[in-house]
């Protein structure tokens, strides 16, 4: 077997399961999980209807590049959403089976292990960034996301000698688990660094359509490129998905867009990798990308939840006011996120994810996730509000 498999760290939910071994929660309380970022809102019905209408197309092999109509729908949506001056559907767009698969595959295709191969990732992070790097023979460079930097990576703190060894920089905006949004000026600063040190920027924007202020949609990497007049999106790729936007995580539908010089070899890699999206899923995706009404309704539902949960928890927990995504990132009383998680489950049958499971220790021994927990507000309103009340009850009783 590939020896690099031994470098992979346990996944956060494996560690969470081990933490809860031997704990018996109260029988009279139904379990409320706030752990996995899997949307529980109703999936976009029109997309499912389209999927059923095209089910006979399961009898045909799909092409890696996807059908032209899907690439056109994606390019049209991205152009409208981010104010682009055109996005070539044939050269700058590639449909993929969700961002998780595409992020992992892209690192395998892009990393050159014959030279220093560092991949910069936000810390805490989505663990696929790290796993993909390790299996491609690279080394993760952890960029801490701390309160004093708005829970975003401080790229100014990275020395030039380190940048020279970096081949890919991952951004996640809106951030997981913090909900922090990268301003356009920070995208532009990173683009300048990419030009200077010749690395690729890979921006994971799968939460971009879940934002709390309807008048302030989060900016994206391609939007920053367009503002700089870089309509070739040189050195830049974005990853988007229908999982959160349209409550369709099981559809496994997303896209990669940006620099055509990166898209072409990645498409060649995927031809061998076998990552083509089935035709019925492509047609369902067209329906989803072409509709905004259901996305606005989805945002309204999350706003209602965030408002209700914030009213309950803000008096007893400190957390950054989220700008986007569906997570809360509170600091726990006492600072021990594992003990808090285990005790909360034992006493209130609510599951949360320790922040220490989502990142790595810094060189000075500190940990940007330790002492916090991630709350995924993905369930329906009633269950989410009930979980918040139980958390508050637990904290007030413990204190």
CATH for 23: 3.90.1150.10
Nearest by Cα to 346 from 9, 2, 17, 25: 25
Would you tell me how many other CB atoms lie within 10 Å of the CB of residue 335?
11
Would you tell me how many other CB atoms lie within 10 Å of the CB of residue 285?
29
Question: Are both 227 and 328 inside the same structural domain?
Answer: no
Q: Which residue has the tokens 């989805």?
A: 298
pLDDT per residue over 156-170, tens digit each? Answer: 999 999 999 999 999
Question: Are both 171 and 105 inside the same structural domain?
Answer: yes
- Per the rule left: phi > 0, alpha: psi between -120 and 50, beta: everything else, 132 is alpha
Q: Which of 250, 265, 291 is the last residue of a domain?
A: 291
Question: Are both 126 and 211 inside the same structural domain?
Answer: yes
Average pLDDT score over residue span 29-47: 96
Question: Are both 106 and 76 inside the same structural domain?
Answer: yes
Domain that holds residue 374: 3-42+294-398
Question: Are both 281 and 318 inside the same structural domain?
Answer: no
Question: Are both 239 and 93 inside the same structural domain?
Answer: yes
Question: Are both 142 and 263 inside the same structural domain?
Answer: yes
Is 370 inside a domain boundary? yes
Q: For residue 150, what pLDDT band results from cuts at 50, 70 and 90?
A: very high
Half-sphere exposure (Cβ direction) of 363: Cα atoms closer than 13 Å: 4
The pLDDT assigned to 349 comes to 98
pLDDT per residue over 85-95, tens digit each? Answer: 989 999 999 99
- Determine how β-strand 139-144 pairs with β-strand 350-351: unpaired
The pLDDT assigned to 67 comes to 98
Q: How far apart are CA 97 and CA 240, in angstroms?
A: 11
Is 51 inside a domain boundary? no
The pLDDT assigned to 227 comes to 97
Residue 363, pLDDT above cutoff 90: no
- Bridge partners for 241 per DSSP: 254
Is 8 inside a domain boundary? yes
pLDDT per residue over 55-74, tens digit each? Answer: 999 999 999 999 999 999 99
The pLDDT assigned to 399 comes to 82
Question: Are both 227 and 209 inside the same structural domain?
Answer: yes
Question: Are both 71 and 180 inside the same structural domain?
Answer: yes
Residue 245 structure tokens = 């936007």
Total domains in the fold of the chain: 2
Question: Are both 276 and 300 inside the same structural domain?
Answer: no
Task: Please report, for residues 188, 307, 316, 356, 399, the alpha-carbon distance to residue 361 in angstroms, rounded to integers and kept in the order given.
Answer: 28, 33, 27, 9, 29
Is 9 inside a domain boundary? yes
- How far is C-alpha 139 from the geometric centre of its chain's CA atoms? 21
Residue 41, pLDDT above cutoff 90: yes
The pLDDT assigned to 274 comes to 87
Question: Are both 280 and 327 inside the same structural domain?
Answer: no
Question: Are both 229 and 354 inside the same structural domain?
Answer: no
Q: Helices 279-289 and 45-53: crossing angle, nearest 10°? A: 150
Query: CATH no. for residue 97?
Result: 3.40.640.10
């Amino acid at each position: 077997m590939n020896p690099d498999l031994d470098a992979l760290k346990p996944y956060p939910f494996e560690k969470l399961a081990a933490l809860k071994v031997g704990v018996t929660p109260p029988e009279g309380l139904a379990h409320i999980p706030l752990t996995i970022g899997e949307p529980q809102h109703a999936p976009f019905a029109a997309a499912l209807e389209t999927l059923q209408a095209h089910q006979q197309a399961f009898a045909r092999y799909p092409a890696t590049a996807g059908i032209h109509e899907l690439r056109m729908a994606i390019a049209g949506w991205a152009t409208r959403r981010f104010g682009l001056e055109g996005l070539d559907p044939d050269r700058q767009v590639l449909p993929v089976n969700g961002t998780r698969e595409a992020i992992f595959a892209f690192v395998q295709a892009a990393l050159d292990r014959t030279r220093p191969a560092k991949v910069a990732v936000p810390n805490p992070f989505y663990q696929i960034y790290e796993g993909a790097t390790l299996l491609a023979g690279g080394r993760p460079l952890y960029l801490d996301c701390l309160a004093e930097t708005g829970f975003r990576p401080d790229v100014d703190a990275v020395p030039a000698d380190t940048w020279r060894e970096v081949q890919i920089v991952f951004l996640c905006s809106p951030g997981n688990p913090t909900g922090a949004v990268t301003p356009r000026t920070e995208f532009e600063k990173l683009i300048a660094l990419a030009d200077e040190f010749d690395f690729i920027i890979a921006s994971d924007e799968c939460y971009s359509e879940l934002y709390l202020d309807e008048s302030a949609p989060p900016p994206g990497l391609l939007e920053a490129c367009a503002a700089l007049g870089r309509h070739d999106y040189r050195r830049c790729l974005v990853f988007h998905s229908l999982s959160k936007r349209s409550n369709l995580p099981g559809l496994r539908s997303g896209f990669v867009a940006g620099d055509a010089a990166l898209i072409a070899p990645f498409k060649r890699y995927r031809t061998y990798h076998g990552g083509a999206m089935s035709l019925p899923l492509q047609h369902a995706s067209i329906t989803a990308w072409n509709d905004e009404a259901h996305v606005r309704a989805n945002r309204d539902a999350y706003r209602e939840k965030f408002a209700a949960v914030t009213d309950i928890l803000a008096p007893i927990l400190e957390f950054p006011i989220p700008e986007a995504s569906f997570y809360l990132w509170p600091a726990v009383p006492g600072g021990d996120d594992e003990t808090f998680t285990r005790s909360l489950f034992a006493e209130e049958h609510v599951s949360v994810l320790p922040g220490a499971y989502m990142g790595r220790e810094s060189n000075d021994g500190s940990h940007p996730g330790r002492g916090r927990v991630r709350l995924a507000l993905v369930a329906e309103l009633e269950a989410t509000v009930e979980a918040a009340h139980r958390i508050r009850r637990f904290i007030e009783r413990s204190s």
